[in-house]
């Protein structure tokens, strides 16, 4: 079995090991594959592993040996599932590998905003504390999370993990969810109630026609002026221009995003210059532990396929 990893660098920039896959066949790993090299590198492969390299009907039609595509992520929109199914090519994904890491990033952003951790540390390094006449100082309001309300849009694995952390901080947790019989401490509410009641809003829903630009000028207008918006889900859940305008005019207090509508972002993305906007470069998933888990599941998926007992099939 010839196995080709098309874009392995983000998963494994050098601190993990692909060796397990060599048990299953001849392995070739590319850090990145530009579109014009996809066919050349894949044409003889039985198995392709891809994260963001697009596999569509046009290029897969020239991969005559292809039997299996393993997506190295939870989302699988990079693969034409219908074409793959028509050819009998199995496609699998990696569910729930980064739940704890993404929930951790939500609170890394929340804590950095509410305590201005990075800001005050930089002031200290710049000499502000050494020159202070008092034993302590702050120039931004310090905010306690206990008693505050966090509104979660979506209560899947990551939303629920975020809820558990919030409850541990003594926060009130409300959520827009279709789930029934919610755990103690989590209250199901409507969208309008969530926008209006939340001190912090965190997005954990899939991207769909209904959720695209979910945070927009109209929904922002319903939020508290002290509200904080967090997005570790999908970039297009937010109308970025509307959010930037709200931040720049002080309509809401702050935002933190780990995902943007286009990645890498264009230089003129309005959030890059928006006031009180923290942006991390899509790294909530990227702890070593989560990446190791992802690689382990990817191997298990492929081994299950080779053994005739496939799992995590999406087509």
H-only helix segments in 210-251: 217-220, 240-248
Tell me the CA distances in angstroms from 203 to 49, 126, 211, 233, 273, one per residue in order: 29, 35, 10, 6, 22
Q: Which residue in 270, 276, 218 sits closest to 252, CA to CA?
A: 276
Q: Which residue in 75, 16, 9 sits closest to 289, CA to CA?
A: 16
Hey, is 251 helix, strand or coil? coil
Distance CA 52, CA 82 (A): 18
DSSP structure class, residue 39: H
Preceding omega of 44 cis (within 30 degrees of 0): no
Residues in CB range of 155: below 8 A, 6 or more apart: 163, 175, 177, 179, 182, 186, 204
Q: Which residue in 83, 294, 7 sits closest to 66, CA to CA?
A: 83
- List the catalytic residues: 234, 263, 282
Torsion angle, alpha carbons of 102, 105, 107, 108, to 10? 170
Residues 88, 67: contact at Cβ < 8 Å?
yes
């Amino acid at each position: 079995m010839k196995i080709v990893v098309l874009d392995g660098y983000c998963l494994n920039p050098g601190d993990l090991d692909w060796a397990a896959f060599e048990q299953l066949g001849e392995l070739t790993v590319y850090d990145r594959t530009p579109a014009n090299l996809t066919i050349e590198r894949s044409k003889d492969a039985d198995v392709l592993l891809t994260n963001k390299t697009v596999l569509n009907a046009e290029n897969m039609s020239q991969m005559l040996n292809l039997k299996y595509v393993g997506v190295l992520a939870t989302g699988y929109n990079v693969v034409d599932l219908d074409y793959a199914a028509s050819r009998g090519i199995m496609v699998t994904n990696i569910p729930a590998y980064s739940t704890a890491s993404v929930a951790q990033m939500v609170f890394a952003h929340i804590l950095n905003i509410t305590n201005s951790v990075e800001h005050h540390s930089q002031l200290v390094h710049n000499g502000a504390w050494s020159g202070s006449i008092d034993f302590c100082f702050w120039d931004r309001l310090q905010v306690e999370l206990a008693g505050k309300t966090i509104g979660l849009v979506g209560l899947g694995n990551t939303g629920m993990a975020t809820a558990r952390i919030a409850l541990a901080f003594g926060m009130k947790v409300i959520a827009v969810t279709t789930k029934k019989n919610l755990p103690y401490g989590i209250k199901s509410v409507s969208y309008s109630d969530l926008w209006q009641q939340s001190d912090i809003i965190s997005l954990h829903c899939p991207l769909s026609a209904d959720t695209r630009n979910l945070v927009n000028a109209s929904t922002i207008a319903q939020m508290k002026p002290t509200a904080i918006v967090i997005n570790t889900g999908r970039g297009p859940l937010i109308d970025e221009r509307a959010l930037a305008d709200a931040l720049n005019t002080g309509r809401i207090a702050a935002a933190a995003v780990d995902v943007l509508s286009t990645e890498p972002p264009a230089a003129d993305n309005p959030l890059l210059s928006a006031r009180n906007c923290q942006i991390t470069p899509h790294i909530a998933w990227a702890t070593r532990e989560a990446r190791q888990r992802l690689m382990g599941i990817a191997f298990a998926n492929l081994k299950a396929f080779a053994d005739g007992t496939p799992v995590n099939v999406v087509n």
